[in-house]
């Protein structure tokens, strides 16, 4: 066995990964591969503007009865 078997195994895994990515692109959208090859910069740009951050109220208002109100409560 050659002393470089780890290098050959790494090369084989890399080539297999590249083939898997290309196959996935071709299966999902064959025209996307041609678009990538023609104009890489245009393909990398987002197709729509990124959404701006909007604060969404997802937490209930904290009242004195809330479990995490951090108030000292005495037993009845």
Please report whether residue 58 resides in a domain: no
Please report whether residue 74 resides in a domain: no
Please report whether residue 42 resides in a domain: yes
Q: Quote the distance between the C-alpha of residue 20 and its chain's center.
A: 18
How many domains does the chain divide into?
1
Please report whether residue 28 resides in a domain: yes
Q: Which domain holds residue 26?
A: 20-47
pLDDT for the residue numbered 24: 92
Confidence of residue 72 (pLDDT cuts 50, 70, 90): low
Please report whether residue 56 resides in a domain: no
- pTM: predicted TM-score of the whole model, two decimal places: 0.47
- CA dist 48 and 51 (Å) reads 9
**Neighbour-count burial for 6-40, b at 16+ CB within 10 Å, e otherwise:** eeeeeeeeeeeeeeeeeeeeeeeeeeeeeeeeeee
pLDDT for the residue numbered 70: 64
Q: Which tens digit of pLDDT belongs to each residue from 17-60?
A: 999 999 998 899 888 888 888 888 877 777 766 556 655 555 55
Please report whether residue 75 resides in a domain: no
Please report whether residue 54 resides in a domain: no
pLDDT for the residue numbered 21: 92
pLDDT for the residue numbered 54: 59
């Amino acid at each position: 066995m050659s002393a470089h078997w780890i290098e050959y195994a790494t090369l084989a895994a890399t080539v297999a990964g590249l083939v898997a990515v290309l196959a996935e692109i071709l299966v999902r959208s064959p025209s996307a591969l041609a678009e990538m090859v023609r104009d890489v910069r245009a393909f990398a740009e987002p197709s729509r503007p990124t959404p701006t951050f909007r604060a969404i109220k997802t937490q209930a208002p904290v009242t004195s009865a809330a479990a995490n109100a951090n108030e000292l409560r005495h037993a009845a």
